[in-house]
Structure 1
Amino acid sequence: MNQTTAEETVDVFGPNSMLRRLVNEARWGLAVTRATVLEAAHPQIGTALIGNSTFVTHPWRRLRNTVVSAQRMLDPDRHVRSREAARLNRLHARISGTDPQGRRYDAMDAEARAWVVATLFESAVTMYRLGGESLDGPAVEQLYTEFRTLLALLEGNSDQLPATLQEFWPYYDDMIDHRLESTEAVRVILYRLFANVPAPPLLRSHPAVWAAGRAVAGPVAAAVTIASLPESFCRRVALPDLPGARALMHGAYLTAGFATRLLPNGWVQVGSFMSLLDPDHAGGSGPWENVRRKAGQAAAMLRLITPAPDEVNQATRSADQFFAEVLDQTGDGYLAWPDLAAMAREIATRLDLDEQDEERLYNAYAAWWRELQTNLDADGDGRVTRQEYAASAPSLPSSGLVKIADVLFDVTDVDDDQTIDAQEYQTLFRTAFHRDLTGRGDSYSRSAFVRQFLSFMSGQQHSVAYNSLLS
């Protein structure tokens, strides 16, 4: 057996790594989207996505975290890779349960995790082919070796993937023909996510503009994705074969391929596009910065001439809106433990917490969840409805929130000086100081930090900073 371990092959992610170069290209998004559909068709992965993931309600945040995680996993520093692999394993170890048919799922399942890597590899090869590039045999072999090494970093070995490229293709075809299903997650991605994807941070204040663009782009993105999938898979899960979709798909991939090869490197890097969509993603330099700045100026002008929203019954609407935008992280219409776990996961990811601090944070959120269940779960079904929350919003329990706020302050205050300085604030909120957190000019005390967190999490006060973190 040609076993691959992280220790033996760590150097494949050196300067000549194909995978490291690939994940920094904007066109990689085409491959990832395609691969995600194939992953979601795996029964275990699909159920885990529906029950625990925020990919529908917060896709831009999920995209940003995926980019950051991929960069860490492929970092030249071996320690950074190992730390990120350990973090991902802790994250996945918290995700398990039972699907509606009574089948167990576990995000640490070795076969399912190997399928994730397999879909990314095959989608990368397909992306090159459809983009007008033909990888020769040694290049495909190198790319496969790098993906097996990626799996080894997570699993300790890559035994769940075939040892050779020649053995991979029969394995892949067998998974397509016999293991994948038409899961709810596949339908959500293709028919709900694309149709209802929320606006990126840059356009959140202009829902009408975003909705108009999405009405055209959503169906096009779905059609391109479906047309790029294996025909046998489309037949198996009964996906439509839309007229003209394959020509549209080929055009999208060829355009992305030509752009990558012909345009200046800075124009086609994933970081440049992330900065365009999210002003807080990067430091404000790059070829797309002028475009983003002009868009921001236009947005400011539009706000000046747009009437303010009607404030009738604002308190009631605010509770309802807060539930939908902040508390219901998974978008299923209820508040349950996976929603609070998603908040803890987002904070732990941003701050790159070690195991001890991460455990403290999760324990604090778990304590708040027990408190919410006791006080708000009137029918005892293990989840809180929007109506149950709205009825009790003015008198929400706060001791659990205080515990979360204290832990959040501690893990953010990395220098232990009992204040949050500008750099620590930037790390947590990915933005500079805001006026809505009152402190001593260039820092925030524990009391000010905790007070603002409680006001936001109880739905009593809007906060630009916390809104950017959790909504």
Structure 2
Amino acid sequence: MTSAPTETADEAPLFGPASQFNTFFDDPRWALALIRATVLEAAHPQVGAALIDNSTFVAHPWRRLRNTFVSMRRMFGTDLSVREREAARLNRLHARMSGSDSRGRAYDAMDRATRAWVVATLFESAVTMCRLSGQPLGQDTMERMYAEYRAYLAALDGDAAELPEELKDFWRYFDGVVENELENTEAARIILYRLFDHLPAPALLKGAPTLWAAGRAVVGPLLGVITVASLPEAYRRRAGLPEMPGASTLMQGAYLTAGLARFLPQGWLNAETVIETLSLSPDSDDLRVPVMTAVRSRMKRASALLRLLAPPPAGDPAPTTSPGPGGGRRSAEEFFREVLDQTGDGHLDWPDLAAMARELATRLDLDEPEETRLYDAFAAWWRELQAALDTDGDGRVSAAEYAAAVPSLAGPALIRVAEVLFDATDKDGNASIDAAEYRTLFRTAFHRDLTTADGAYGRSAFVGDFLSFMSGRRSGTPYDPLLADA
């Protein structure tokens, strides 16, 4: 067993601002590299099966992006305690993901070789993005960056034994996995041919569906072509992925154009700011909201003009107006699609409710045992739903089964979910939620008068609002950006 990479007094730290990884984090090329790495991850049978069964990357890709970004920031930061805490959280999350794929092959998100492959795709894609943009990395820089990624794996697994110690041996390992293990999995096909074409709008652009759909109709297919062209030739051949004429030139142009960002003044591009801005809720008390509101207004006018000039792209829902402060009611079908079906597979089963618990635990940054209490509460709710709604006994609830029953979901198990969620949000245990605790969960303003005794957000009010959202199918509430937004 090999040990984790170590640092000497004369070397820059493997984590933190001085790391090679940190220099890429705000680089626009990293977005292209991350898409490429995600496809290579999804092409691994174990990863692909876990994504199909458990991930929200289809229905909620922007949420997934933000959570991944926050996690990597923690893992590559300088604070060892933060890194260890995040590694423990990721390990608990992955330990809950196991099962079998459509061919009956078992998968386990804690499989060490599979986790090593995920890290390998990130490293190799970073190297590839530099080469494709005309800025290939020198040998010393590659060696340094490889040590950082092995240290990242060691922080998760306790050691980096599943990746070769030497960089010269890594390329043989990488080529071997590509040629012998990767497949044209369903998850990889979804990313390449469905996700880009049907990517939902982030919160910032939700008010301009026509404008978003028109832009996506152009950019989505291009991203797919660029990504396919950038994949290793051995995998393209093995998976039978066609490369369109001119795709290689288009790919080179995309990477070269993104690489021009190096000429911008330092600090002009900040990935954290971009992701946070895309996720802003109109109700947030963030100082950027007034500017974003003005931008939304202009986009709505542009969207209205575009609707006059061209019909919405095929397959897109008709544009709807945003609900007012009081919100509105969703139909049963809308509620099922937007809230309950978190994985976007058209059915409600345990992974959907587990995804809700995972998002809530992530927002609140829960440790044990609070995290387990929340998962247990959602598991009890799933058993209650399954008993009431699974009329054909196939172990899951279809949209038709849910819509036909039009049930009231506010049973004892859902009430328990709300109570556990309240306890987890009430960090100081004073039986009420203050503005800071409210913002931690919802990332929005606390619209209650905290200067009066009646202003405290107590248990009964919190539970009542949660049940009203879940059973009343109300929109325009703080729970929309938490559970319904992409």
TM over 0.5: yes
Q: Name which of 90, 94, 97 aligns with 1:95.
A: 97
Aligned to 1:372, the other structure's residue is in SS state helix
> Identity of paired residues, percent?
56
How many angstroms does 1:128 deviate by?
Answer: 1.2
Letter in 2 for 1:133: Q
Residue 332 of structure 1: aligned partner: 345
Deviation per residue, 1:241-270 (Å, 9 max, x gap): 1122111111111111111x1112333221
Q: Name which of 346, 349, 352 aligns with 2:359.
A: 346
Q: In structure 2, what is the Cα distance between the partners aligned to 1:10 and 1:450? A: 50
How many angstroms does 1:408 deviate by?
Answer: 0.6
Q: In structure 2, what is the Cα distance between the partners aligned to 1:69 and 1:280? A: 21
Root-mean-square deviation (Å): 2.9
Equivalence map 1:66-81=2 (5 Å): 66-81=68-83
Aligned to 2:115, the other structure's residue is in SS state helix
Q: Is the 8 A contact 2:48 2:186 kept in 1?
A: yes
Q: Is the 8 A contact 2:208 2:296 kept in 1?
A: no
How many angstroms does 1:301 deviate by?
Answer: 6.0
Residue 188 of structure 1: aligned partner: 190
Q: In structure 2, what is the Cα distance between the partners aligned to 1:268 and 1:275? A: 13
Gaps of 5+ in 1: none
Equivalence map 1:145-164=2 (5 Å): 145-164=147-166
Q: In structure 2, what is the Cα distance between the partners aligned to 1:20 and 1:392? A: 51
Q: Which range is displaced more, 400-409 or 239-248?
A: 239-248
Greater per-residue helix proportion: 1
Deviation per residue, 1:9-50 (Å, 9 max, x gap): 994114421113323434321111100000111000001001
Q: Name which of 11, 17, 24 aligns with 2:19.
A: 17
Deviation per residue, 1:309-336 (Å, 9 max, x gap): 699xxx9961110000100001111000
Deviation per residue, 1:180-212 (Å, 9 max, x gap): 011111111000101101011111122222111
Letter in 2 for 1:16: A
Letter in 2 for 1:238: G
Residue 360 of structure 1: aligned partner: 373
Aligned to 2:110, the other structure's residue is in SS state coil
Residue 38 of structure 2: aligned partner: 36
Equivalence map 1:112-131=2 (5 Å): 112-131=114-133
Letter in 1 for 2:264: L
1:321 aligns with 2:334: yes
Q: In structure 2, what is the Cα distance between the partners aligned to 1:283 and 1:142? A: 42
Deviation per residue, 1:79-132 (Å, 9 max, x gap): 000000000000000000011111100000011000000000000001111122
Q: Is the 8 A contact 1:334 1:385 kept in 2?
A: yes
Residue 197 of structure 1: aligned partner: 199
Relative distance call for 1:430 and 1:316 in structure 2 (3 A) is closer
1:387 aligns with 2:405: no
Residue 280 of structure 2: aligned partner: 279
Letter in 2 for 1:107: A
Q: Is the 8 A contact 1:372 1:397 kept in 2?
A: no
Equivalence map 1:363-374=2 (5 Å): 363-374=376-387
How many angstroms does 1:299 deviate by?
Answer: 4.5
Q: Is the 8 A contact 2:211 2:302 kept in 1?
A: no
Q: In structure 2, what is the Cα distance between the partners aligned to 1:385 and 1:177? A: 38
Relative distance call for 1:285 and 1:420 in structure 2 (3 A) is closer
How many angstroms does 1:74 deviate by?
Answer: 1.2
Relative distance call for 1:457 and 1:66 in structure 2 (3 A) is same
Q: Which range is displaced more, 415-424 or 141-150?
A: 415-424
1:167 aligns with 2:180: no
Q: Is the 8 A contact 1:5 1:156 kept in 2?
A: no
Residue 266 of structure 2: aligned partner: 265
Q: Name which of 373, 379, 390 aligns with 1:377.
A: 390
How many angstroms does 1:397 deviate by?
Answer: 4.8
Relative distance call for 1:230 and 1:458 in structure 2 (3 A) is same
Letter in 2 for 1:235: R
Q: In structure 2, what is the Cα distance between the partners aligned to 1:26 and 1:344? A: 32
1:396 aligns with 2:397: no
1:236 aligns with 2:250: no
Letter in 2 for 1:256: A
Letter in 2 for 1:242: M
Q: In structure 1, what is the Cα distance between the partners aligned to 2:380 and 2:304? A: 44
Residue 143 of structure 1: aligned partner: 145
Q: In structure 1, what is the Cα distance between the partners aligned to 2:412 and 2:246? A: 58
1:447 aligns with 2:460: yes
Q: Is the 8 A contact 1:148 1:158 kept in 2?
A: yes
Relative distance call for 1:395 and 1:237 in structure 2 (3 A) is same
Q: Is the 8 A contact 1:371 1:397 kept in 2?
A: no
Letter in 1 for 2:445: A
Relative distance call for 1:284 and 1:309 in structure 2 (3 A) is closer
Q: Is the 8 A contact 1:422 1:443 kept in 2?
A: no
Aligned to 1:158, the other structure's residue is in SS state coil
Q: Is the 8 A contact 1:6 1:157 kept in 2?
A: no
How many angstroms does 1:430 deviate by?
Answer: 1.1
Letter in 2 for 1:231: E
Q: Is the 8 A contact 2:210 2:303 kept in 1?
A: no
Q: In structure 1, what is the Cα distance between the partners aligned to 2:149 and 2:162? A: 12
Q: In structure 2, what is the Cα distance between the partners aligned to 1:226 and 1:326? A: 32
Greater length-normalized contact order (CA 8 Å, ≥ 6 residues apart): 2
Q: Is the 8 A contact 1:350 1:428 kept in 2?
A: yes
Q: In structure 1, what is the Cα distance between the partners aligned to 2:226 and 2:100? A: 32
Relative distance call for 1:310 and 1:36 in structure 2 (3 A) is closer
Relative distance call for 1:270 and 1:49 in structure 2 (3 A) is same
Q: Which range is displaced more, 347-356 or 22-31?
A: 22-31
Q: In structure 1, what is the Cα distance between the partners aligned to 2:93 and 2:150? A: 21
Q: Count residues in correspondence.
A: 465
Q: Which range is displaced more, 268-277 or 167-176?
A: 268-277
Q: In structure 2, what is the Cα distance between the partners aligned to 1:123 and 1:189? A: 16
Q: Is the 8 A contact 1:202 1:277 kept in 2?
A: yes
Aligned to 1:340, the other structure's residue is in SS state helix
Letter in 1 for 2:227: T
How many angstroms does 1:460 deviate by?
Answer: 3.5
Relative distance call for 1:440 and 1:66 in structure 2 (3 A) is farther
Q: Is the 8 A contact 1:333 1:385 kept in 2?
A: yes
Question: TM-score with structure 2 length normalisation?
Answer: 0.89
Residue 315 of structure 2: aligned partner: none
Q: In structure 1, what is the Cα distance between the partners aligned to 2:99 and 2:294? A: 47
Q: Is the 8 A contact 1:333 1:386 kept in 2?
A: yes
Aligned to 1:13, the other structure's residue is in SS state coil
Residue 214 of structure 1: aligned partner: 216
Residue 429 of structure 2: aligned partner: 416
